[in-house]
Amino acid sequence: MIIVLMGYMGSGKSTIGRHLSEILSYQFQDLDTFIETTVGLSVPDIFKTKGELFFRKKEAECLKILLESEDNLVLALGGGTPCYGTNMKMISDASNVTCFYLKASIPTLVNRLMPEKEIRPLLNQIETKEELAEFIGKHLFERNVFYSQSDVTITTDDKSIKSICESIVVELI
């Protein structure tokens, strides 16, 4: 079985994924890390030197490889992964996948992302919390059509990692 975690950047996909994989004794894979290993560059360097289109093409290729895995796997997607090309269809059509949307509110995302905006290619031009909130709100509005196609939505605001993982495990039973 493959458990796919999707949601906006800063929603906790990688953190929850690591803990969930330990609980279930599954392998963990962060899609961005897999892309970095495949390309030989960090995500920010891929965006800077090769552009977003190159990144999105590699993202789709790497997603396909991971979704074809026969191992038990927890897969943390990038925030935009479900929204490009046929990625969401690929996820939905995979027979061995359960997809979870980790939903965080705009204030939660702003608080998590503001301190690390310099290392996130899509956010490094944003100056203030207000600009970041507006940017996130616009993105969430655009991406909701994709995120809402998940099998299960888990709201993560004010919940512990343990509580979120327990909610996911209950849904799998």
Binding residues for substrate: 32, 56, 79, 143
Residue ranges for the known binding site for ATP are 10-15, 120
The annotated binding site is made up of 10-15, 32, 56, 79, 120, 143
**Long-range pairs, 143-150, Cβ under 8 A, ≥24:** 143/8, 143/79, 143/80, 143/82, 143/83, 146/82, 146/83, 146/88, 147/6, 147/7, 147/8, 147/82, 147/101, 147/103, 148/101, 149/82, 149/88, 149/92, 149/99, 150/6, 150/99, 150/100, 150/101
Q: Please report, in range form, the residues annotated as the binding site for Mg(2+).
A: 14
